[in-house]
Structure 1
């Protein structure tokens, strides 16, 4: 699969993620954060890892739970083509693809012939999982990049004169036809082996729901474990006229969290910044998320003139450690006031910050301020006559 640095194991048949669409927020470094998940498989593990750290999860799978569809006849024909002539260079891209290919060859009674044929070639492997699949069948790689990036494999060959070289490229879920064309421009004869193709999610409803959450900034981050999931989410967002909104959200406050650089590269065409760990593994991605997300959304602590401490962490509001529940209008007013603690914020500015659907008058601001004072204490919000309101802070 293109960009699938973390190969997910299929879920047990018939299982569904418990509380997958709205897991309970608990205690931990991610408490108060909502995180979207696009993975189709091994999703229970990811949800558990996030909820164990206090996060609330929103699941919207972008790909099928069984996305790797193998066309047996096509794979057999591609194998025959590989065996038809000596191979000078073999590019191995994914562990799951290699294992599937070798397993099918074994079922056809062709494994020894295929392995013997490939061991005469120089082998470049994208990462440790493809290396492991090769060595399991007695094959040894010439070189593999530390980055686990297929671009670096191609960089190893870029600029070389490959005239007369026969190269076999194992594809990984999506076509590598452009790679084949680039290698042919260097003089090589290229054969691609498509082991499997990625399949779209069967029921796109949850994905559309996640798209709405992203566009409305109701999630703090979204995780991606495969580049095709990025493409699938953007395609789905475009189909409902939400692609620009999703891109804007990712460019602003919603963090796109990727399992590795290949998945992250899928966002480059959209100008979306991403976060990914040094090691392309699910656990490393979650660990980085628990460290960096709170620092990006660090809790804002303000000492009020009343002697109380106000703490904002994500969507949570705490007053002297006690949670304060606010409806959207007073919450919007509070966000404007804490952005300029101790300074006056005008009524028109507060009115503009109120959620859509709120009555468009200064009376709506007065009602929101009244509710905010009821929640935080009457002396916490000061009225400045003919000017507006300010948060009373301890200077």
Structure 2
């Protein structure tokens, strides 16, 4: 296994998050990744809105029977806003007297951190599971406080109110447009072109917005079919917009940023084991770089394109015409192919790796598989 600083060497990672993007990016960079940050949406705090404070006073005056916590960031921001208004301790006391329902482990951790003991957790991390649980349990005549996440109530408020509950909605933040739409579009196109190795998502609304943008600019088919791109989602809810479009992302066992990074590292390490083994050592080609025995090769785009073609053929011969097809431009001069292969050999520092097959083309020189010696009883027998 590669050392911590080399685990993601040569990997280009696209981070689509707004919140805690610096933490996620830093964790990836410490492991050697090149990070592109193009947040698909912006979190707009509403904690200074008078409505949040008013809802807090309303719940303190008439405590709820049930409180629904949908996000960790939302609960923390709510308590902070209450603190600023001198109501923090009283709010926590009132919420602690209610039945506390939380949407997933992150919300559970935040509830515990402010002094609440969750009575029930939605393992699927979906609002739909919370809604189903409340309706099955019966809510008629109950007062239900719902801390909304940025995408809204997802139908929970309406369903619970229709079942006879009194609903008090608290919106502590909401999702807004991306800070740089052009950067998002550029990132989507890079993914579609196979110029990114890993795309990371940490919220369902951002994942939905990112995929919808791929549809709007006409590259969703390339995004979904990008064989060299790995998609990673922090949890099953975040994975939903990807799965609905036919992408099966990496999802860690725990919905935490650290677990997400470890899942990506583990995935990359697994693929290192399946890299091509040449006469000069293990070779792995990524979106924008190639590594030979953990050494990042100084390849031009043309040389990288030729190397990727040779690796894809797995040791079979590649003709000069096929080399010309993957090179930028439209040159049909065989000398252009020879120059590109020559530069590739220079970068590899071992001219044995790319062999010339007279009158046919080029091939990647793979290491011969090792075979165990025959048992003594079989030596000399035919």
Is TM-score (shorter-chain normalized) higher than 0.5? yes
**CA distance 1:158–1:256, shift in 2 (3 Å):** farther
- Secondary structure of the 2:32 match is coil
Deviation string 1:362-391 (CA, Å, 9 cap, x unpaired) is 564444345445555278423253x54433
Deviation string 1:47-83 (CA, Å, 9 cap, x unpaired) is 332222122222223344x632336233245446657
* 2:276–2:311 Cα contact (<8 Å) kept: no
Instruction: State the 1:221 CA deviation.
Output: 0.6
Comparing 96-105 with 268-277, which one deviates more in the overlay?
96-105
Deviation string 1:204-225 (CA, Å, 9 cap, x unpaired) is 4443443333222222112222
Instruction: Give 1:259's aligned residue.
Output: 234
* 2:6–2:294 Cα contact (<8 Å) kept: no
Comparing 326-335 with 30-39, which one deviates more in the overlay?
326-335
* 1:200–1:232 Cα contact (<8 Å) kept: no
**CA distance 1:355–1:89, shift in 2 (3 Å):** farther
Deviation string 1:268-287 (CA, Å, 9 cap, x unpaired) is 33322211222222222212
Matches of 1:45 and 1:62, distance apart in 2: 17
Of residues 16, 24, 31 in structure 2, which corresponds to 1:46? 24
Matches of 1:290 and 1:33, distance apart in 2: 10
Equivalent positions of 1:52-67 (< 5 A) are 52-64=30-42, 67=44
Instruction: Give 2:179's aligned residue.
Output: 202
TM-score normalised by length of structure 2: 0.77
Matches of 1:364 and 1:383, distance apart in 2: 17
* 2:272–2:284 Cα contact (<8 Å) kept: no
Instruction: State the 1:338 CA deviation.
Output: 2.7
Equivalent positions of 1:368-383 (< 5 A) are 368-372=340-344, 376-377=350-351, 380-383=354-357
Matches of 1:94 and 1:342, distance apart in 2: 51
Matches of 2:78 and 2:353, distance apart in 1: 71
Of residues 40, 51, 54 in structure 2, which corresponds to 1:74? 51
Of residues 15, 21, 36 in structure 1, which corresponds to 2:14? 36
Instruction: State the 1:257 CA deviation.
Output: 1.9
Instruction: State the 1:171 CA deviation.
Output: 0.4
Matches of 2:317 and 2:71, distance apart in 1: 58
Instruction: State the 1:295 CA deviation.
Output: 1.6
* 1:217–1:253 Cα contact (<8 Å) kept: yes
Instruction: Give 1:287's aligned residue.
Output: 262
Instruction: Give 2:305's aligned residue.
Output: 332
**CA distance 1:285–1:378, shift in 2 (3 Å):** closer
- Secondary structure of the 1:270 match is coil
Answer yes or no: is 1:276 the counterpart of 2:251.
yes
Deviation string 1:269-324 (CA, Å, 9 cap, x unpaired) is 332221122222222221222121232354624344xxx44623533243x88664
**CA distance 1:378–1:284, shift in 2 (3 Å):** closer
* Two-structure CA RMSD over aligned residues (Å): 3.6
Instruction: Give 1:13's aligned residue.
Output: none
Equivalent positions of 1:183-202 (< 5 A) are 183-184=160-161, 186=163, 188-202=165-179
Equivalent positions of 1:155-174 (< 5 A) are 155-157=132-134, 159-174=136-151
Gaps of 5+ in 2: 369-382
- Secondary structure of the 1:246 match is helix
Matches of 1:240 and 1:166, distance apart in 2: 45
Matches of 2:77 and 2:354, distance apart in 1: 64
**CA distance 1:125–1:298, shift in 2 (3 Å):** same
Matches of 1:321 and 1:96, distance apart in 2: 39
Answer yes or no: is 1:94 the counterpart of 2:71.
yes
